[in-house]
Chain A
Amino acid sequence: MVIENTQDEELIRRYYAADQEALKVIFQRHKEGLFNFALRFSGNRADAEDAVSHTFMMVCEKRYTIKPGASFKTWAYAVARNSCLSKMRTGAKFFPLWSSKNDSGHEGPIDVIDPQGIARDQLDQKEIAVLLQKAINKLGPQQKEALLLREYQGFSYEEIAQVLQCSLEKVKVLIFRARSYLKEALPPVLLGEGELK
């Protein structure tokens, strides 16, 4: 399929020329990434879903302008990020991530007693995720965003700089600071000390 390999910007151009299929391809291509980015960034499933839907609403309203050097991907992540931020600012309810799966209410993140003392093989996937989430949540928004885009979305520093509207140098520093913090905050088993799987 030719359309599958087409650039984002080209797809958008086709969509603006009234090709509905192009939009669907764009959506399928980016929904996972945007959603997970927003989910990790806001820590809240509802906000993340809103962010995705808001982003594509902006696409439908033709808010994205096609011009050389303005990548659709970075634009979309910036829109999603802004949507999350505005939700957080308006003091919307802040549910811990793991209660989003069971709607019973008061189940906060699973408490792991003394993570330092736990051997890696005792931590299952979910517990690791909770530890990571707790640590990442303590980062400042910009550090968090830069790190998430790098580690989970595989953005290049150049792209991150576009999303954050800042210089390449700053991206380097942000990511470095985020990692330095995580180095302290995460239990050693997650930092390669001891057996790696």
Chain B
Amino acid sequence: MTHDDIKILISAYADGEVTPSEKDIVEEHLAACAECQKDFKTYKAMSTSLSKWSNETLSPDEEINVQKSFEQRREPMFTKRTAVILATTLFLVILIVTVPQIIFQKKQIGYPSSDIGDTYPSVNPPQYLHQTPLVQRTGIQKPMLPKIYQPLPVVNTRVEMQLAFNKGAQGRLKAAADDIGDQYSSAVQSRPMQLAMDKKDSESSRAKYGLMTTFASAPVGVGSHQEYWGNAQVGANANLGVRASLRAPEATLYDANTYRPNYWNNPVPSPVAQWYPVQPYPMPYEEPNTEQYDHFQENTFLGVKDNPLSTFSIDVDTASYSNLRRFLMQGQLPPKDAVHIEEMINYFHYDYPQPGWNVPFSITTELTPCPWMRTHQLALVGLQGKKITLENLPPSNLVLLVDVSGSMGEDDKLPLVKSALHLLVEQLRPEDSISLAIFSGAAQRVLEPTSGRDKDTILNVIDNLQAGGSTNGEDGLELAYQMAKENFKPNGNNRIIVTTDGDFNVGTSNDGELIQMIEKKREEGTYLTVLGFGMGNLKASRMEKLADSGNGNYAYIDSMDEARKVLVAQLGGTIDAIAKDVKVQVEFNPALVKAYRLIGYEKRMLKKEDFNNDKKDAGELGAGGTVTALYEIVPANSKESFGSVDALKYQSASASATSDTDEVMTVKLRYKNPKSKDDKSKLIVNTIKNTQMSAPGSENIRFAAAVAEFGMLLRDSEYKGTSSYLKVINEAQLATGEDKDGQRAEFLDLVQKAGLMDHPIKPSKATE
């Protein structure tokens, strides 16, 4: 037996697992071999040490679960065979139920009802017609019939039309109305024929508004010449940008002398009103999707000679990214106007250095070749807000304003709001106070300021919220500001947190007026955070406008993960601002830069003189937050030309004064301390030098560039250059960094999804 064999035996001997004969050998060897003696002792000591890793107990919940399953599962429930049989049966049942439905649905034309004022507050034509069935549906609603209405005997329209045109004046009026594509209004008439309307007219109005027009056989007043109600109805609708035209396919024959209905000559009374949609626009029934996104133009290249300054306000919103993630997860590409590249870039956290002790944020700059256009360069400006641990946050005075209108009743709205607020409340400290107001048809206080100590009280109130009624966001906001003021903490963080789907549709809730109100209130030192929930009725642009004008931020919450990110991981940033009115101005050196383009920030552009104007409001930076901006730069030696303005005759065109510096651009930042009373801004200046150029650049700029490329692809931007989904994946994969939260991994997943979906239909070559 070799020494190695004995070594193995010694381990077994320590466990008392040797045969008597082996035991003798081992004991004999141990007496002689010091090395093995030591091993033996080590094994014993090891066993003692190992026992220090103590047992844990099975959680009681799990134990109960297992025990419960004993009772349910006395016999094997699923053998493989029963499972297969069950699955097959289920499949067949589903098949039998769904197939006829699908076939039936195709044939069906739906008549959903909705309320004109609620869903379509604006008179502008909608941007997404296919998504916005809007008021044309309202045309299908039966109008309120006046009391005098009675079903009348009818004859063919032609008779009536004839009568109308025989009255020369009316005929001309009608022709004139046709010319301007307008409704032939009967307000000026004293005859009942006005209800008839030319088919051509109806088509022109349909073409104009792209809406479905509804015809109805018009009931006619009895007894008095003045009671022609049809025109009033039409007028009202026309004000709302809608054409619900009325006409009488079968109208009443009137007595030529009295213009009263001739009951005697008319044959059979017709059925009452017939309502039917115009055939070319059958609308299959679907939930109205009334999401709205403001249209915007992407920033273009600007020549440095004419526009040496680029000025914008920072943007810490991230909602666009979570919103487009929702679209992609549902297997749909997001509408172009829902894609805001800066919000996508700022969704991610970048690895910038922490600021020094006397400034609230650090500035990082970087220059690298542009990945999607090799002749261009890409410059990055990154801000990192000072991290503040939760313990160091000033005491908060939070007012939760919860939208409990009927539209919030869906699973992804109020229930998610409740869970999200649970997360928030769990983190409150005793010195924080929180109060709660709700709004639906009217606003109401439900919780007076309560200390973070009484979590149970707060959670109890939150759990009892129920959805119902209409939405009066204005009243709600007003009440919330009032409550915030009553409990104002002078050195604390006074903030209103609104949770809503953004449909502030009752009250004088013109966006402009709401914003004016908020702007007035923010002077009092209360901030506004808007959390958007739900889908299908999302008014992203409005929510963002509200938050921005209220010195606050807007986040879209589509899941508990997102709620955790906004309300737990970045709570400091969400509810405490460390710098406000942060503006960035970049001056480019014409000796080195020919043109530049700011990527994203379209809604945040400022005039160059606004930069030094402290009265001009701008974005806030939260604790620990990062903001990143990218510039695509065309170097001065490029052959591309931008803008076709002739060379200026009287301006000195020479750039000689600056040509000897290697500075590409100078970044200037202005910010205000949100706590200080004086409203003076402070200035920080930083430069980017040509010598900074590095390829391929840090992970920060590579990842930000990949996100920007993804955004440009989704927007189908004209500047996307050589970008492709595959390229984005390749680039982002090499720049995922530490990725603690898995956000960058998720990004890769989304790009892949979008890549699979985005296949523009090209005209097939066979038809050429």
Contact = CB atoms under 8 A, between A and B. Distances in A.
Interface of A: 18, 20, 23-24, 27, 31-32, 35-36, 39-40, 45, 49, 52-53, 56-57, 60-62, 106, 125, 128-129, 132-133, 150-152, 156-157, 172-173, 175-176, 179, 182-183, 186, 190-192, 196
B8 A176 contact: yes
Contact of B46 (A24, A27, A179): A179
B11 interface: yes
B21 interface: no
B529 to A, nearest CB: 23
9 A-B pairs closest in CB distance: A192-B45, A176-B11, A190-B49, A61-B76, A129-B53, A128-B52, A60-B73, A176-B8, A157-B17
Contact of A156 (B17, B42, B45): B17
B746 interface: no
Interface in B40-85: 41-59, 62-63, 65-67, 69-71, 73-74, 76
Contact of A52 (B42, B48, B55, B66): B66
Contacts of A175: 11-12, 15
B8 A106 contact: no
A156 to B, nearest CB: 7
Interface residues of B, number: 39
Contacts of A133: 53
Contacts of B54: 125, 129
B7 A49 contact: no
A20 B62 contact: no
17 contacts: A23-B70, A24-B67, A32-B55, A35-B58, A40-B53, A53-B62, A53-B65, A60-B76, A150-B15, A156-B17, A175-B11, A176-B7, A176-B11, A179-B43, A179-B46, A186-B46, A191-B46
B215 to A, nearest CB: 61
Nearest to A35: B58
A184 to B, nearest CB: 11
Contact of A49 (B55, B59, B73): B59
B12 A191 contact: no
Contacts of B69: 53, 56-57, 60
A53 B12 CA distance: 33
B167 interface: no
Contacts of B44: 192
Contacts of A49: 58-59, 62
A35 B52 contact: no
Contact of A106 (B15, B55, B67, B740): B740
Contacts of B48: 192, 196
Given A31-B58, A176-B7, A183-B39, 16 more contacts: A40-B53, A49-B58, A49-B59, A53-B62, A60-B70, A132-B50, A132-B53, A151-B47, A151-B51, A152-B50, A157-B15, A179-B46, A183-B46, A186-B49, A191-B42, A192-B41
Nearest to A39: B56
A57 B50 contact: no
Nearest to B65: A53
B450 to A, nearest CB: 25
A104 B54 CA distance: 23
Contact of A56 (B47, B53, B57, B66): B66
Nearest to B8: A176
B71 to A, nearest CB: 8
Q: Is the interface of B mostly helix, strand, loop or mixed?
A: helix
A190 B45 contact: yes
A125 B55 CA distance: 12
Nearest to B11: A176
A18 B17 CA distance: 39
Nearest to B49: A190
B229 to A, nearest CB: 66
Contacts of B74: 18, 20, 60
Q: Is the interface of A mostly helix, strand, loop or mixed?
A: helix
Given A192-B44, A196-B45, A172 B17 contact: yes
Interface string B14-43: 010100000000000000000000010111
A25 B43 CA distance: 35
A128 B49 contact: yes
B45 A27 contact: no
A102 to B, nearest CB: 13
A151 B50 contact: yes
Contacts of A53: 62, 65-66, 69
Contacts of A20: 70-71, 74
A28 B684 CA distance: 68
B46 A173 contact: no
A125 B52 contact: yes
A32 B11 contact: no
Contacts of A176: 7-8, 11-12
Contacts of B65: 53
A53 B73 CA distance: 12
A40 B74 CA distance: 30
A87 to B, nearest CB: 15
A155 to B, nearest CB: 10
Given A157-B17, A172-B17, A52 B70 contact: no
A141 B52 CA distance: 21
A62 B66 contact: no
Nearest to A62: B76
Contacts of B66: 27, 31, 52-53, 56
A35 B56 contact: yes
Contact of B11 (A31, A39, A106, A179): A179
A190 B46 contact: yes
Nearest to B16: A156
A44 to B, nearest CB: 12
B53 A128 contact: yes
A132 B50 CA distance: 7
Nearest to A133: B53
Nearest to B73: A60
Contacts of A61: 73, 76
Contacts of A152: 50-51, 53, 55
A18 B528 CA distance: 64
Nearest to A46: B62
Contacts of B740: 106
* Among A27, A152, A182, A191: residue with most chain B CB under 10 A: A191
Contact of B62 (A52, A150, A183, A191): A52
Interface in B462-521: none
Contacts of A182: 46
Contacts of B17: 156-157, 172
* Among B50, B52, B69: residue with most chain A CB under 10 A: B50
Contacts of A60: 69-70, 73-74, 76
Contacts of B55: 32, 36, 152
A152 B41 CA distance: 19
A183 B50 CA distance: 12
Contacts of A106: 740
Contacts of A31: 58, 63, 66
A154 B234 CA distance: 89
A88 to B, nearest CB: 19
A62 B43 CA distance: 40
* Among A49, A152, A176: residue with most chain B CB under 10 A: A176
A17 to B, nearest CB: 12
B134 to A, nearest CB: 44
Contacts of A45: 56
A57 B53 contact: no
Contacts of B63: 31
Given A35-B56, A125-B52, A173 B8 contact: yes
Interface in B377-429: none
Contacts of A191: 42, 45-46, 49
Interface in B123-140: none
A53 B55 CA distance: 18
Nearest to B18: A172
A32 B57 contact: yes
